[in-house]
Amino acid sequence: MQNMSATTIMKEYTDEDGNLVMIRKPGDFVVCNLSSINLPRAFKADVLERVIRVQVRMLDNVIDLNTISVGQADATNKKYRGVGVGTFGWHHLLALEGIHWETEKAVEFADTLYEEIAYQTICASMQLAEEKGAFSKFAGSEWQTGEYFERRNYSGERWKQLQQAVASTGVRNGWMMAVAPNSSTAKIGGSTDGIDPLYAVEYAEEKKNFKFKVTAPDLDHNTYDYYRRARHVLDQKWSIRQNAARQRHIDQSISFNFYVPHTIKAKELLDLHLEAWKQNLKTTYYVRSTSQAEIEECEACQS
């Protein structure tokens, strides 16, 4: 969700050997520098602040250490120093906290938790700016003017102090937060995908060359009830509401999927997209539907 711009031809001429020579001014070409927090582990261990500060520093280091062969991308990367702090394991965390997906409590928890992540991320970038300098386009940006904070209606003394500190010190990174799909990363980390609901309590996932069994993380008699409604059965409007609460605190965007039965009507699908628009979601990602076999298997599992 960063700005892109076209490369423009500033001068064009034919040299003495008859070659057409073009002098170009590179446009902005976005680079993805992404990393994600294992949300259940970090939250339950009460180490979000420490993890995020390490994470932002590591992502910022990637910008300097990486070699990018595309000149425009390398220049843009160093100009804005955009990074994307993300998360995975949202459904896993809800289950551990004893919160059902389709509840107001889940929406409120998303709002509170991602506000804390935003606060800690901005603090971490500001501390890096104090140490290494702000990104080159900080002057006049929404970070300096305070518009970034005002548009999100942040209130309270700590946000006021942070806004003033950022205006004075700067931030190291022009963009800071984004939530990627994190499917493979989450499996490796023993958790659930990104901000998505779990597919089922137990299922097999097939990749290009292999198939493996997936079981809900930390599954026991306490967490089972919070996992048992499969993602295609859940009311997607609760997912939209959770994501709307989360989006307010994320300066870029979120990989947010709709999970629907294959029997869904066009009007119902349109209603979901309109609801996402009304709730001020920046984007939606994929629409994933079931096959008939998946529906039957899901019903059998739930029974």
Q: Is the pLDDT of residue 294 over 80?
A: no
- C-beta neighbour count of 201 within 10 angstroms: 18
Helix (H) or strand (E) holding 260: strand 258-260
| 3-class DSSP state of 120 | helix
Whether the Cβ atoms of residue 69 and residue 40 lie closer than 8 Å to each other:
no
Q: How far apart are CA 201 and CA 198, in angstroms?
A: 7
Between residues 214 and 41, the one the model is more confident about: 41
| 3-class DSSP state of 10 | strand
List the single range of 188-192, 212-216, 237-241, 255-259 with lowest mean pLDDT: 212-216
Q: Is the pLDDT of residue 299 over 70?
A: no
Q: Is the pLDDT of residue 300 over 80?
A: no
Q: What residue has token string 């809900």?
A: 216
220 contact partners, CB below 8 Å, separation of at least 6: none
What is the per-residue pLDDT for 293?
55
Q: What are phi and psi of 294, to 5 degrees?
A: -65, -40
Segment of 28-32, 199-203, 213-217, 270-274 carrying the highest mean pLDDT: 270-274
| Residue 247: band (very low, low, confident or very high) from pLDDT cuts 50, 70, 90 | very high
Q: Is the pLDDT of residue 295 over 90?
A: no
Average pLDDT, rounded, for the chain: 93
Q: Is the pLDDT of residue 271 over 80?
A: yes
What is the per-residue pLDDT for 68?
92
Q: What is the mean pLDDT of residues 182-204?
A: 93
Q: Could you give the C-alpha distances from 107 to 53, 99, 236, 246, in angstroms and in order?
A: 26, 10, 13, 8
Percent of the chain with pLDDT over 90: 84
Q: Furthest-apart CA pair in the chain: how many Å? A: 80
What is the per-residue pLDDT for 292?
62
Q: The whole model's pTM is what?
A: 0.91
